[in-house]
Each structure stands twice: as structure tokens, then as C-alpha cells.
Amino acid sequence: MHIDKQYLTKRVDDFATSRILVVGDIMLDQFIWGKVSRISPEAPVPVVEVDHETRMLGGAANVVSNIVASGGTVLLCGVVGDDRTGKEIIAKLEELGVRGNGIVVENDRPTTIKTRIIAHAQQVVRYDREKTSTLKLETIRHIVKFIEEEMGDLSAIIVSDYGKGVVSPELMDGIRTVISGRNVPVTVDPNVRNFPLYKGVTIITPNHSEAGQIANIEIGDERLLVEIGKKLLSDQNCKALLITRGADGMTLFEEDGSITHIKSVAKRVYDVTGAGDTVIAILTLGITAGLDLRASAYLSNLAAGLVVGEVGTSTVKIDDLRNLIASHFS
């Protein structure tokens, strides 16, 4: 696939003109870092000697982090609890220059926090504190109203669905009503359980495993991948489907029948945490900056290749993108 280097760099510079609204599951990613030197005498499990801890924006909030780092303007809709973690997330967003007025606080709902214990650059265990029931109808209405009020100069909407309760039939119906008659792309980082809700959006980005679960079949080869990708695209009636495939790159299916395989550029894969957030952020920024779907997917693949080489949630800065383009075309 030929893409002009200067053209791609110019479009990356145009990310600054994009104003994107992210709606979805807001969470905090906590990483506890340490080392293992012995097994517990109480049970056959490793004892992690903790060295330090990091707490970072996760889920939909990490999509926001990626957009800010890449030069775009972003708004965020979602839910946090009335707790210390929720306040911490809002404070971290404000540090990025992102206002919290699209975030609803539900008193009886804890803020989602994923805790990962890392030793010797490997994840030992993860535990989650969360409540995944559907949001209160009043909360959904508040979010839809916020989206409607901000529609005037939006470039796109990203739905970041981690299956924690924010994305529902009512929310997606509300988004469809708000964007009706407007040329505003809607991109979705999906959850398997909610896949039927995304009908008619612009593009959906399941990973290889998710695509297999949705089709209820294990994707064992490229022939089956193509068959399933075409079926999912047809069933969802969207413009495109991008299946991310880890070390095998990505495959883009478009409504005109074209299929594009994009090879991975990752030099090493240490951790896929947050890679989907980076893909949906850069893909959407590309589309809003005037790139076609193939070029946008290609750019998101470059970005993903960088973040999987880091342990823990990470983002790709706009200078990183420029350097990636320059090195890949050199």
C-alpha cells in the first residue's frame, strides 16, 4: 500500500484541528511494580516485593490521553463514582486540559479501577474493582444531552466500550438520534457482549480474539479471518471493520468489498494494555484530519507498534508519530 510520506505528515499536523468526543467506560489503571525472589510458604504463589506504584488514566480516559498527546482537542462523557478514585481521574483529566463537565457521578457506583501487579516486566495478576450494571436512565439522558449540546463543531465521536455499563441500547439510540443528518463519523472500540448495538456506525475495531468470539468460532487462518470479517461488516451495516491482530498486524474490511492487510511494525511486544485505545484514537484522528480509512488504519498500526513495546498503559505523542513516519519511510 503506497502512502506519500509528506502527505501523511501534513495530515498528522492537522490533528490540531480535530475536536473529538469520547464516550464510554472511564477507569483508572493502577500498576504495582516489583520483583519475585521466592514462593509463598502459605500457597504456591509468588511473593512480589513491591518497589513502586503508578496510577494512570484507563479505558475511555486513556483514549482521551492519546488524543491529547497527539495534538487533538477532546471531550469525555462517562461515569465515575463518588470516591477518591473518581476525584483522582477528574484531576488527571484537568491536568491534560480536559474538563470533567461531561462526566456524571453516580453515588452508588464505584469508579472502575484495574490493578495489575508487574514483576520482571511480566504481569503476575490483575484484579478489578467495579460495578458493571447498566447506568441509571437519568445518567444516560444526561450524557446524550451533553453530546447534543456539543455537536456543533465535533469532528467525530468515539465509543470506548469496555463492558462496564456505560454503553447500552439507550445510549447508542441517543447517539444515532443526535447525529442524524450530520456528517459526523462514529468509531467504536467494541465489547463482545454489546456488538449488536453498533449497527450503522462508521467503523468498529475488534481484535482477533473478539472477532472470533462474536462469530462464535476460532479464527485459525487468514481464509477464515476474511470470511468472518466480511460477515461482521455486512451484519453491522457499517462503512468499515478493522480487525487488529497483534503480531500479525491488522486487516481492514471496507463496504466496497476491498480488504487490506497491514503488517505489524512492532519490534517487540511486551504488553498490549491500552493498545486498542491508541488504535481507536489515532484511527479517528486520521479520519477527521482528512485521511482515507486505509491511511488512517496504517497510521494507527504504526502507533500501536510503539505502545506494545512498553509495559503498562502508554500513549503516542505527536512527535512520536512524526518520527515513526520518518523512520518507516526512510
- For the annotated catalytic residues, the residue numbers are 277
C-beta atoms surrounding 308 within 10 Å: 23
Which amino acid would we find at residue 302?
L
Contact in structure between 23 and 161 (CB atoms under 8 Å): no
Q: Which residues contact 48 (CB under 8 A, 6 or more apart)?
A: 32, 34, 35, 36, 117, 119, 124
CA distance 270 to 8: 28
Neighbours of 223 (CB within 10 A): 9
CA–CA separation, 26 and 226 (whole Å): 32
Q: Edge to edge, what strands does the sheet with 156-160 contain?
A: 103-106, 73-81, 19-24, 156-160, 186-189, 203-204, 240-244, 250-254, 259-262
- 280: nearest Cα among 207, 188, 179: 188
Q: Where are the beta strands (DSSP E) in 185-275?
A: 186-189, 203-204, 240-244, 250-254, 259-262
